[in-house]
Structure 1
Amino acid sequence: MHIQTAAVQTLRDFEHGAVVPPVHLASTFELDPATEDGAFAYQRGSNPTRAQLETVLAALDDAAHGFAFASGMAATAAALSTLEVGDEVILSASVYGGTYRLVDLVLPGRGITGRFVDDLDALTDEDFTPATKAVFIETPANPTLRITDLRRIAELAHRHGALVIVDNTFMTPVLQKPLALGADVVVQSATKYLAGHSDLLAGTVTTNDDRLADAYRLAQKAQGGVLPPQDSFRLIQSIKTLPLRLERQQASAERIVEHLADHDRIAQLWYPGLHSEEEARVHASQASGRGAVLSFELAGGLDRVAFLKALRFPAYAVSLGGVESLICRPATMTHEAMTPEARANAGISDEMLRLSVGIEHVDDLIADLDQALAAAG
């Protein structure tokens, strides 16, 4: 089944012939007094509406198990919850700021070490120690859009008994399926493309590993960071239009990248595959598109604030993946948890801007960018 069909048709056969799933709001469920059995008992453990969403999430990733959490960071925390005292996780230096905050400030208190490296593709066998239990990958990276070879890192990590966890938020299952490339776990901030309307917080985890699935099920029940029924229903409905939305957003992003590539008021441009021919080759081998996020830096002498104030359509706000275009300054917004030294090491300058392209007409977006660049000085 193509993903465009799976997004719409995974759930069927609802009561009364309804073509959309019902919302089950109950926090508790009646059990059989004789056996104390029941498909559901308490909403934190499981809920029919959330279970339906998790069926859809697994189907999109061709996974055996799917889990829905209250936010992308709750999903990431659950994915890392199998790490124990003395363990180490390797991450890219340019990882999302929220993940950096978790690994840098929270995990050390649990006896877990995070090691941030400049380029995951430069990892060799010598970089792994007995303590290395996981490699956490974003590809494309946020916000540098650098590419990591998932097949190579999966093979390398598995030789040393380490898990491979991939944050697939930027690509979604529409453009990239990390489990098929050797990853053990996929996490997403469903707040972004899956929900798609900047009105819902959610996070997802998918895996084919039964043992890991048991751990994530425990994380849901023990830690309680689960997605409520109403939001689960809304996410099911939003996912139905995900392939269409992303197709439009990506096509517009490609046009904008072409327009800005030779613009005399753009000093640097970041987009998947632009860094090198090798990264372009790797990305093309593991993804079916380049997504709808790009980053850029204005040419010297231009006024960043004037540019941002002049924009009519992209809102100056964090997040991405919504139907409306958004622009942000990673150094002070998405990656403010990182020290200036860490940001510099990750290639995130104070002047870098990250643009998430929405579904507005691309000609309007390009005209808006041009007039704002003209207003910048």
Structure 2
Amino acid sequence: MAEKVLMKGNEAIGEAAIQAGCQCFFGYPITPQTEVAAYMSRRMPKIGRVFLQAESEVAAINMVYGAAGSGVRVMTSSSSPGVSLKQEGISYIAGAELPCVIINIVRGGPGLGGIQPAQSDYFQATKGGGHGDYRLVVYAPSSVQEMVDLIQDAFDVADIYRNPVMVMGDGMLGQMMEPVEFKEREAKQLPSKADWAATGLHGRKEHHVINSLFLQPEELEKHNEKLQKKYAEIEKNEVKYEMYNCDGDLDIVLVSYGTVSRICKNVIKMLAKEGLKVGLIRPITLWPFPKKAFEEVVDRTKYGFLSVELSCGQMVEDIELSVKGRKPVNFFGRSGGMVPSPTEIANKVKEIAGGAR
């Protein structure tokens, strides 16, 4: 068993990426994720890998495009406004079907906003913040350990589906320190890159062109249809979620992700003492969204669902699409970097349920 070490979330991201085989990192400093780049700047050159601080976020994501096109494992990291600047490049990467990992340690917005934690990039991450019909796989860890574990998953899933994968944590997760274990993992059987990578390192035998430009509409439509089939496979195979305290009949089900879900678990324990049975659905993949989890509880939930977020309700519509009007979907959130207390959330639950029994 590997020894646990105490690490800040942002630094744990960097070490997890290195242990997952990341060969290149391109980034640009922005609070609250700058320590990811700082850690990689210290570690990557010492082990013969590439670290480069780009002149901008736009440059960084296009460097990712180039490295991914050569078939190496590559990562970039940023925080909310920086990820906005990367969106055109992310769309190009998705269109060219290149694997890479993108870290977003979310801060409050819109605009420059503030540097405190938020979850207000949910739409940007899950609905395709750039142009065109594309999707990112989006992971939302709730602890530093889970973030470390999901980094390895992110690189593997990116390679399996030739698609960019985002790991999205709020600023608290990037800045908090927790004990983490870098576990030895069984190597997955991953598809060869020889049939598409633009380098001889992967044994290619013919000239490959990395491209997302299709000037003939028939060709572009065919390419989009191919992408949609791939996204359907991802929805079928890669959904991750946690169900907490969801056995039996329920008064209400909380829905939250990331560090907010940890607060919600405390709320559930508080309300149990007041006679309310409350469950939690925690999406670990924000896309694909865990619709199946709602099917498991919708008929056993008396008062419906409460989405708890560090945003103005961006996840609500995905919950509504999953519930399909069968039960009410309520919302409680804080924004701008404000974090709700367990008491605030508990009071909202009691308001919906008509008071504690």
Give TM-score, length-normalised by structure 1: 0.32
